[in-house]
Structure 1
Amino acid sequence: MNKRVLTALVALPILIFSILLPYFFPYFEYANSLFLVIAALGLSAGLFEFFSITKRMELKADAGIAYFGATALFVAFLLNAPQEMPDLLGLVIAGFMTILLITQTFRFQKDFSKMLIGTAVTLLGVFYIAFLGGFIVATSVGFSNNPVNYLSSKLLGFFFLVVMSADIGAYYIGHYFGKRKLVPKISPGKTWEGTFGGISLSCLSAAVASASFFPELPYKFSVPLAILMSIVGLLGDLVESAIKRGANMKDASTTLPGHGGFLDRLDSLLLNAPILYYFAKFYF
Structure 2
Amino acid sequence: MAVVYPHSFTKADLSNASADDLMLFLLAGHAANDVQILQRLLLMAVGALDQDKYANLPALAQSMLLARVLITRLAASWDEIGRDKYQRLLDQAEADLEARGAPAGEIEACRAGRETLRKLLADGSMLVKIRNKTGAHTDRKTLREAFDSAPGEYEFIDLLAPIAGNYLHGAADDVATRALLETASNAESELAIQELGELLTEAASALSAVSSLWTMYFNITYLRISFDKARKGSKDMQGVDITVMSLPVFIEPPGD
- Structure with greater helix percent: 1
TM-score w.r.t. length of structure 2: 0.29
Indicate the structure whose relative CO is greater, using CA pairs within 8 Å and at least 6 residues apart.
2
